[in-house]
Structure 1
Amino acid sequence: MVYSRVVTPPLRIGPIEISPPIVLAPMSGVTNRTLRALYKPFGFGLTVTEFVSSNALQYGGKRTMEMIDQHGVEKPVSTQLWGNDPQIMATAANLVRECGADIVDINFGCPAPKVTKTEGGSACLRDVDRCEAIMKAVVDAVDCPVTMKMRLGWTEADLVFVEVAKRAQAVGVQALTLHARTAKQFYKGSADWSKIAELKRAVDIPVIGNGDLADPYDAMQRMRESGVDGVMLGRATLGNPWLVSRLRALMADEEPAPVPGAPERLRFAVHHYLTMVEEWGEPRAVPQMRKHLGYYLKGFAGASALRERLMRTETAAETLAILKQTIAQLEAREPELAVA
């Protein structure tokens, strides 16, 4: 794919410089402090916590507070909040700021029923006035930049993204992220990047594009064509943080390194696994890492059968033994494949 070769400038959100302008998407049960710290060195200029309920933050439960916890090495960090009450959102924003958030992000994008059934996330887009009230309350509550992530609208018949963006800019929100699907689409169909370009033309604050960015060359092309100031990567990076490093290279006008082979990917999976066990303890890490191993185990012969075995392991020792044995087998096969 051909694109204009030029060094991509940093993204600036208030006083914060984000370089390169690649943002880790907030993902529930995924973007905890461990993953953010592990993936940051691949080239994320900004990492975002799991999205957290403003209502839950009122009670300060251990699990809720862990969702906004930081190492420090993954900074700058944005904490994303969801909720439907302006005052509760403002109180939550003040709390996460006190806990170290460099940016407070408002979630008007999540389509999950557990969020939308309480009029949070993308359900807020059904009431533009309430969106504005929430944004204003959060901006007034904190001394750091406030950003907002949204979808196009609740349905195709009610695309409110431009109106919500203009109101966001008016009340002091300093950057916007658009996932170019409607709430009702969930993750089906294709993200409409022409709408992201439309949003960029409609406002003066930075716009970050999100949706269907699984290839670094394609991401660069979409960024150039839409004129956005940055991109947000989510599901495509899981098990594949090298997508980020390859995109970072393109943004620096450099040739990306080749996609790593299966042994290298699995060695990093082992590192991820060991770090999770060390930080969270084996009883929590083993079940949580099953989904991550599923992401790392893609694209090589025998991956499906291996995945089935690893989904049934109960201890870290058993899992790691299988992974290390697999790495050795793959490395032994690579010379044969090269000769063939």
Structure 2
Amino acid sequence: MRIGPYHLKNNLIVAPMAGVTDRPFRMLCKSMGAGMAVSEMVSSNSLLYGSEKTKRRANHEGEVDPISVQIVGADPKMLALAAQYNVDQGAQIIDINMGCPAKKICNVLAGSALLQNEALVGRILETVVGSVDVPVTLKIRTGWDKQHRNAARIAQIAEASGIQALAIHGRTRACAYSGDAEYETIASVKSCVTIPVIANGDITTPEKARHVLQKTGADAVMIGRAAQGRPWLFREIDHYMKTGTHLPAPQVEEVHRVLIKHVYELYMFYGEYTGLRVARKHISWYTKGLTGSAHFRHQMNQLESSTQQLEAVNDFFESQLKCGERLCYAEELAA
């Protein structure tokens, strides 16, 4: 798959997720098979450019190309300035968020709320595309609600505005993350534009990834929540796409090693105080469903030092090794 001058190594993309797709997570997913990873969204509010949070989100040091940064807002000029700012900070692709269903985003008429105003969508896309000399992509939903599915019209506006790839989460804003993804709607969008279309929503296994590509005709798939605590999902899908066979599940020692390295990267990126707190949710995702994990997570979330947190993780995985080399699940992982 190609976006502008960038030829991705495969068609597996990490979805932008607020509070999740920071630089350590993006770099980890890329190292485990993802062809591209989109950053968590950066506000177009120029007053935020000097904040530590925004500086971290614009930090791409050591990240493998291409570097895709998502911006969010509702004012064309401010979004153009945000795009320029991020290109100056190293962004090679700018992605515009018109898919976030969160109330705090939609209440300021940004994210998926923009789908209600097609004229404004066009002005935003044309202004941002014209403001930078890098590819601009767009992420949307299928519409505002089930009575107002306008993804096809938005896609046509996007193509006419110079957008170079379109990602679609197969739900309306009103659906949030409930119900099944609408792959038929994604297929209809793919049929009416020539730019690459990326399918997003409920892609949790190698088989599901292949099914979605076949069902929608999309050029790529975008994976979000399913990769939380399972960054090796990308290599598993890539292998399955190429061979039709499954890779063995990761062994306890590998999961332990990947998690510890991830946690160290979080400490280095955020500092110990914030890094420890960000690490808690990742540790919970990695260990979800494993024997004894509920008690472990409860205890781990009370710890206030990185040393204690690392010791707790090491002790937990030592107990897992007693079950054998493979991960020992006490319950089925949630989809």
TM > 0.5 fold call: yes
> Is this contact kept in 1: 2:146–2:172, CA < 8 A?
yes
Alignment of 1:296-311 (within 5 A): 296-311=286-301
CA distance in 1: counterparts of 2:86 and 2:268, whole angstroms: 25
**Counterpart in the other structure of 1:333:** 323
CA distance in 1: counterparts of 2:65 and 2:241, whole angstroms: 20
Q: Percent identity over the alignment?
A: 36
**Counterpart in the other structure of 1:107:** 97
- CA offsets 1:41-95 (integer angstroms, 9 cap, x no match): 1111111111111014664322212112102333211111111001111111111
Secondary structure, in 3 states, of the residue corresponding to 1:147?
Answer: strand
**Counterpart in the other structure of 2:188:** 198
CA distance in 1: counterparts of 2:150 and 2:193, whole angstroms: 14
Structure 2 residue ranges without an equivalent (≥5):
329-335
CA distance in 1: counterparts of 2:224 and 2:104, whole angstroms: 20
**Counterpart in the other structure of 1:43:** 33
> Is this contact kept in 2: 1:57–1:64, CA < 8 A?
no
* Equivalences, count: 328
336 and 201 in structure 1: CA distance in 2 versus 1, 3 angstrom threshold:
closer
Secondary structure, in 3 states, of the residue corresponding to 2:211?
Answer: helix
Q: Which AA in structure 2 matches 1:62? A: E
Alignment of 1:32-111 (within 5 A): 32-56=22-46, 59-111=49-101
**Counterpart in the other structure of 1:20:** 10
Q: CA deviation at 1:34?
A: 1.3
CA distance in 2: counterparts of 1:217 and 1:111, whole angstroms: 27
**Counterpart in the other structure of 1:322:** 312
Secondary structure, in 3 states, of the residue corresponding to 1:334?
Answer: coil
CA distance in 2: counterparts of 1:68 and 1:30, whole angstroms: 14
> Is this contact kept in 2: 1:263–1:330, CA < 8 A?
no
1:153 aligns with 2:143: yes
CA distance in 1: counterparts of 2:246 and 2:131, whole angstroms: 42
**Counterpart in the other structure of 2:213:** 223
1:271 aligns with 2:261: yes
Q: CA deviation at 1:168?
A: 0.6
> Is this contact kept in 1: 2:240–2:246, CA < 8 A?
yes
**Counterpart in the other structure of 2:282:** 292
Secondary structure, in 3 states, of the residue corresponding to 1:119?
Answer: coil
281 and 60 in structure 1: CA distance in 2 versus 1, 3 angstrom threshold:
closer
> Is this contact kept in 2: 1:58–1:92, CA < 8 A?
no
CA distance in 1: counterparts of 2:244 and 2:265, whole angstroms: 31
CA distance in 1: counterparts of 2:325 and 2:273, whole angstroms: 38
CA distance in 2: counterparts of 1:57 and 1:197, whole angstroms: 40
Q: CA deviation at 1:336?
A: 12
> Is this contact kept in 1: 2:252–2:327, CA < 8 A?
no
> Is this contact kept in 2: 1:57–1:65, CA < 8 A?
no
Secondary structure, in 3 states, of the residue corresponding to 1:105?
Answer: strand
Q: Which AA in structure 1 matches 2:296? A: L
- CA offsets 1:79-113 (integer angstroms, 9 cap, x no match): 11111001111111111111111111110000011
Secondary structure, in 3 states, of the residue corresponding to 1:283?
Answer: helix
1:244 aligns with 2:234: yes
Q: CA deviation at 1:250?
A: 2.1
Secondary structure, in 3 states, of the residue corresponding to 2:123?
Answer: helix
The TM-score with structure 2 as length reference comes to: 0.94
Q: Which AA in structure 2 matches 1:120? A: A
CA distance in 2: counterparts of 1:52 and 1:249, whole angstroms: 33
1:124 aligns with 2:110: no
Question: Which of the numbers 249, 253, 276 marks the counterpart of 2:243?
Answer: 253
Secondary structure, in 3 states, of the residue corresponding to 1:184?
Answer: coil
> Is this contact kept in 2: 1:47–1:75, CA < 8 A?
no
CA distance in 2: counterparts of 1:18 and 1:220, whole angstroms: 18
Secondary structure, in 3 states, of the residue corresponding to 1:29?
Answer: coil
Q: CA deviation at 1:132?
A: 0.6
- CA offsets 1:152-202 (integer angstroms, 9 cap, x no match): 111111111100100110111111000010001110111111111111101
**Counterpart in the other structure of 1:170:** 160
**Counterpart in the other structure of 1:7:** none
Q: CA deviation at 1:271?
A: 1.5
**Counterpart in the other structure of 1:181:** 171
> Is this contact kept in 1: 2:140–2:168, CA < 8 A?
yes
Q: Which AA in structure 1 matches 2:108? A: T
CA distance in 1: counterparts of 2:49 and 2:24, whole angstroms: 24
